[in-house]
Structure 1
Amino acid sequence: MRETLAALADLTRAHFFFVWPLLFCSGLALAFQNYGGFSWDLVGRAALIGLLGFEAGLVLNDYVDREYDRRDVNGLLTRYWRPFGARPIPAGRISPRAAFAVFLVLTGSAAALAATLPHPTISMSSASWATRTRSSTFTRPRSGTRPCRSPRSSDGRTSPSSP
């Protein structure tokens, strides 16, 4: 049992558990600053979504790369990335089927939590639309501007590159 827990901790890079929620919640902090609506409940759910989602991605990476990792085992893994010194699937500490099941549980949990998040309101959608509309005005020609004339050579004729 202890071996399996160590393999799961290594598979999910559990020693980095604090990084993923911080990265995920940094974007949430910007949203709170721009749109308001701060709540600790929302922060907690977002942190869990970040944790579960990133961990699922790490597990999926190990699952997909298991054959490559099996050929690439050279003993140069650092304790920083793999605290137990071996890749759990190629080392046989956890089966590919069990790793995929862990991926499905983590992904399903993250998706279920994401489904509980509040939907954007009409005002937020309107603000987003207004921002996009305002920024697209820079691509339209301004009224009262003259069209660009074709370049002329020193003798006043149109240059050969222009029609």
Structure 2
Amino acid sequence: MSIQILQYEFLGPIKLQEWGPPMEKVVYLIMTREKDSFNIIYAGECEKTTENNFFTNNPSFKCWIESHSNASLYLAILPMFESENYARNKVLNQVIARYHPKCNERKPEPKPEYKIRSKHDSETSSIIPCPCCGSEMKVEKELENTTIIRCTECGISDTRLNS
């Protein structure tokens, strides 16, 4: 059985009581069932666990059981076996933004730090920060009038005019 959330195909839902480890590199949803529909009350991601009490040790577990009895909690997972942490967090943030699960703590988004640099500073600086993730961007290819740079972390590329 599977359930489609956004454009992703999650496995389940199964009763949370029926889950057993292990679980590795997944985005998971805690859901409640009302008649023929499921409501997402919590979304999370997991690198790896072999613990039977993985869910009951979750800081939001109290919210889950206060909302509904333990018997009516369901689990759906999206396996992302070859994924990095940022890829799972991207899916997780999309689910939270769309469904607003009531048991997810709303952490304020960190405000980006803006630094205004003069043109002289940017020309002499050898490290170019990625506008997406802040990691270092490296020169990939120098052309006649432009230079192509690529982020070492997220892979985004940019083109700079040579002056």
Higher relative contact order (CA 8 A, sep 6+): 1
| Structure whose CA Rg is larger | 1
Q: When the two structures are superposed, what TM-score results if normalisation uses the length of structure 1?
A: 0.24
Bigger proportion of residues as strand = 2
More helix by share: 1
